[in-house]
Amino acid sequence: MKTDDNEKNVVWHHATVTRKRREAQNRHRSVILWFTGLSSAGKSTLAHALEEQLHQEGCRTFVFDGDNVRHGLCKDLGFSEADRHENIRRVGEMAKLFIETGVIALTAFISPFRTDREQVRRLVPEGDFIEVYCKCSLAVCEKRDPKGLYQRARSGEIKHFTGISSPYEIPENPELVVDTETLTLDESVQCVMTFLNEQKIVRFSELS
């Protein structure tokens, strides 16, 4: 939280190596690809598969995975509504720093609340935040459930579980919807790759 001392004593230092120069060196734009959806909707799987494809194309990337972040940056947070807000706030600020480095930042978080996702969107210039909704029904997510989380939530073992005891607010106007319920992983990756190509974020000659 900001304090009066922050306002008075902390000044942003402007580097001579700018984001524009880093992007030029990387030969692609830097953006935040924000994958959102229910648990087991395929967010992390898609983000990592996409990163692999982008890496093979020579792109600079990094995936912020929900579970991985909670091992370090957000290890002090639980899953209450307040902690979920703080979790996304921290990740948003980190992703903002990463796009300043010229990197494509991929984030895979349930991020169930629209206000949190919109708060991250407002951190960066227009066009730098790309909301990717991994669309998958609750029934299919429960059927997949590789970690057994839904079963534990149904039994009351896990509190504040999105889709069961806590709401998920579907994006109203996402930049991209990927139907991870019906598409294969390869098809889902291709869907995002095509979008990135059409938006001239990354240029792939074979997709042109």
Residues 105-163 pLDDT 10s: 999 999 999 999 999 999 999 999 999 999 999 999 999 998 899 999 999 999 889 99
Mean pLDDT score, 185-204: 95
pLDDT at residue 47 greater than cutoff 70: yes
Residue type present at position 52 = E
Strands laid side by side in the 104-108 sheet: 61-65, 104-108, 32-36, 129-134, 176-178
Count of helix runs (H) and strand runs (E) in the chain: 9, 5
CB atoms within 10 A of CB 122: 10
Total number of domains constituting the chain: 1
Instruction: Answer whether residue 7 is part of any domain.
Output: no
On whether residue 2 sits in a domain, the answer given is no
- Active-site residue (options: 30, 40, 44, 111): 111
The boundaries of the domain holding residue 68 are 18-193
Active site annotation includes 166: no
Q: What is the DSSP letter of 145?
A: -
Letter for the amino acid at 157? E
Residue where the block lists tokens 């998958």: 136
Threshold 0.75, pTM exceeds: yes
